[in-house]
Amino acid sequence: MTITYNPTIEPSGRIKVLSPAKINLFLHITGKRPDGYHNLLSLMCCINLYDTLYINLDAKRTGITCTHPDVPLDKTNIALKAASTFLKAINIDKAVGIHITKRIPVGAGLGGGSSNAAAVLLALNYYYDHPCSMDKLISMGLSLGADVPFLIFRKPAVVSGIGEKLESFHGLSNRHILLIYPGFSISTAEIFKKYDLRLTKTKNKNKINLFVKDKNKIESLLWNDLEKIAATEYPEIYDVKKALLSQGAQGVLMTGSGSAVFGLFSDFSRAKTACDAISRNINWQLFLTDLVIPTGASSSGKTQDFDSCIRRFEPSRPSHIIF
């Protein structure tokens, strides 16, 4: 089954758009800026797990609803901020109603909120016949959050700076993924506050260069500078990693600042067997999915036309969500 991430207009006039999660296959913190943000080097990829957003441009007043109780429903919501930012940029004053059907766990390092904001920007740009270039959308996204630019871009990419520098990463081979959310959220700010650059293993900052030589051996190159800090505070992360490894995962890693952990599998049947075995832990949410890799990508490293990139996403199978 092919899933399209294109926005669609429903008969009622609402815009429907899917909002994929992301994982960090590699995450190295390169420094701290004077403004308090951290520079990073990361290899990011979207996965076939997504929220669904419905956007109503005929709303009587601006507001948001969501199926998850921990998502803010006031002006601090990043999806609402995205709508306001976009409409202001194109000089339109209009009330917007947004509803989010939440599947991506909250506070898990999967970029759910940032992806919601990116989806709103993409959907509104589609609806108004593309008044903003990709560069303009990414600039808007950066003003909302560090992960938003990548989740607008949505192709495998090496991400640097504070998230604003994106370079397409071609040739990444797909993997089946068993993603586990251990049932608790982690504050990104909390983890970064505890992160000590002096303790970073500097040899790992060059690991990402090895991907260029052999992209089929990513399991041995998985790295996350934030994992040890998060697992020290939340030891259950190590329990999740051990469970995945015991079921034959070829590589395991915490994504982002946590708490979700993913395991990579070469074939679906092995991933499904692992999922069935681990699902006996009633406190964990399991998601059986895969990487989202664009087909027919150019090897030039140059960004293709934005809409053609979106149309070329062809995940190999839908997510299987197991509670």
* Ordered DSSP codes for 181-242: E-S----HHHHHHH--GGG--GGGGGGGGGGGT-GGGGGGG-EETTHHHHHHH-THHHHHHH
Catalytic residue among 22, 102, 155, 241: 22
pLDDT band of residue 221 (cuts 50, 70, 90) is confident
Check pLDDT > 50 for residue 51: yes
The pLDDT value recorded for residue 243 is 97
Which three-class secondary structure state does DSSP give residue 268?
A: helix
Catalytic residue among 51, 102, 147, 225: 147
Q: What whole-number distance in Å separates Cα of residue 225 and Cα of residue 211?
A: 18
Cβ count within 10 A of residue 287: 25
Residue 216 buriedness (CB in 10 A; 0-12 / 13-18 / 19+): exposed
Q: Mean pLDDT throughout 147-166?
A: 95
Residue-range domains of the chain with CATH: 8-168 (3.30.230.10), 176-322 (3.30.70.890)
The pLDDT value recorded for residue 165 is 94
Which strands, in side-by-side order, build the sheet including 176-181? 251-254, 261-265, 176-181, 285-290, 320-322
The pLDDT value recorded for residue 171 is 80
| Sign of the Cα pseudo-torsion (71, 72, 73, 76, in order) | negative
Q: Is 22 a catalytic residue?
A: yes
Q: Which residue has the higher pLDDT, 217 or 137?
A: 137
| pTM greater than the 0.95 cutoff | no
The pLDDT value recorded for residue 213 is 55
Check pLDDT > 60 for residue 296: no
Check pLDDT > 60 for residue 187: yes
pLDDT band of residue 35 (cuts 50, 70, 90) is confident
Check pLDDT > 80 for residue 162: yes
Tokens of 247: 């079921």
Check pLDDT > 50 for residue 17: yes
By mean pLDDT, which of 28-32, 77-81, 202-206 is the weakest? 202-206
